[in-house]
Amino acid sequence: MLRDITIGQYFPGNSVIHRLDPRFKIIITIIYIVMLFTGDNFLCLAVGAVFTFGAILLSRIPLKMFFKSVKPLFIFLIITSLINLLFMSRGDVLFEWKFIKITDEGLTTSAFMVIRIVLLIMGTSLLTYTTSPITLTDAIERLLSPLRKIKFPVHELAMMMSIALRFIPTLIEETDKIMSAQKARGAEIDTGSFAVRAKNLVSILVPLFISAFRRADELATAMECRCYHGGEGRTRLRQLRSAPRDYIALAVTVLFLAAVIVLGKLF
């Protein structure tokens, strides 16, 4: 399960999506999220799905990687589906037994919410899959740069987000190693009742927290040894420059958003 978690990973490539300006990719991702939550019917979701799978196809990243990003949240999707299925009382009753009542509207809402969340995860994963953490940090800092006028710590915030994204795969790998080591010592992590397994998680969480704090301390020491003092006077190896393809991608995204808004009002 842990090896299926791909959050924060970057897959190098030379596709059209990879070559887009990261600032535009962040803006496009925000518009994409608005697109998914603006539509309130399956036709709007279909437009969002076309946009999502079109972008995935252009990124040249295997589709199975995006399904891997959804797999760790499978339990959450089931819970969301059951909540919408069992607590929606409007519509025609399809099944009823004691206090359980399933309606056609509850079934529709449940499927709609699951598809929306899956598309949301897959679409937003494309941002980190096609953008390196360093480039993403520079883009966030450039987009938030107007806030410097009100003394907002833009560079520090961008650096924190970059470090958090960078260390997600590292912590996942560390957790997998700790679990394997504890199993080799006879720890029963995957067996027993829920209470027993929750108690056995202590043998994983304690060394994981110790390792995370140690890595944070080592990173802070390394930054101090290199005289790191924030973004003041800092230069960049790669300068962010927009190209016509960035504006075309933004215009296409806006057109998809407009289509969702129109379809939402017509149907």
Helix (H) or strand (E) holding 184: helix 154-184
- Quick one: average pLDDT of 86-112? 78
Between 11 and 168, name the one with better pLDDT.
11
Q: What is the pLDDT of residue 236?
A: 66
What are the tokens at 179? 């679990």
Q: What percent of the chain has pLDDT over 70?
A: 90
Environment class of 75 (CB within 10 Å of its CB; exposed 0-12, middle 13-18, buried 19+): exposed
What are the tokens at 138? 């520079």
Q: Are 105 and 91 in contact (CB under 8 A)?
A: yes
Q: Please, what sign has the CA dihedral across residues 17, 19, 22, 27?
A: negative
pLDDT band at 40 (very low <50, low <70, confident <90, very high): confident
Q: What is the pLDDT of residue 260?
A: 93
The residue type found at 93 is V
pLDDT tens for 208-230 read 888 888 888 888 888 888 777 76
- Quick one: average pLDDT of 58-85? 84
Q: Is pLDDT at 264 greater than 80 in this prediction?
A: yes
Q: Are 129 and 61 in contact (CB under 8 A)?
A: yes
Q: Is pLDDT at 3 greater than 60 in this prediction?
A: no
Mean pLDDT of the chain: 83
Per-domain boundaries in the chain: 2-166+240-266
- How many CA atoms within 13 Å lie on the side-chain side of 183? 10
CB atoms within 10 A of CB 30: 14
pTM over 0.85: no
- Residues 265, 266, 267, CA angle at the centre, nearest 5°? 100
Q: What crossing angle do the helices spanning 154-184 and 202-225 adopt, rounded to 10°?
A: 140
pLDDT band at 53 (very low <50, low <70, confident <90, very high): very high
For the range 250-253, what are the long-range contacts, defined as Cβ-Cβ under 8 Å and sequence gap of 24 or more?
250/24, 250/27, 250/28, 250/31, 253/28, 253/31, 253/32, 253/35, 253/51
Ranked by mean pLDDT, the top range of 77-81, 86-90, 170-174, 196-200 is 77-81
Q: Which residues of 210-223 are buried (b: 16+ CB within 10 A; e: fewer)?
A: ebeeeeeeeeeeee
Q: Which of 35, 74, 76 is nearest to 253 (CA)?
A: 35
Sequence-separated (6 or more) residues with CB below 8 Å from residue 54: none
Q: Is pLDDT at 58 greater than 90 in this prediction?
A: yes
Cα–Cα distance for residue pair 172/168, rounded to 1 Å: 6
CA distances from 8 to 68, 95, 155 (A): 13, 42, 20
Ranked by mean pLDDT, the top range of 80-89, 129-138, 211-220, 253-262 is 253-262
What are the tokens at 190? 């995957």
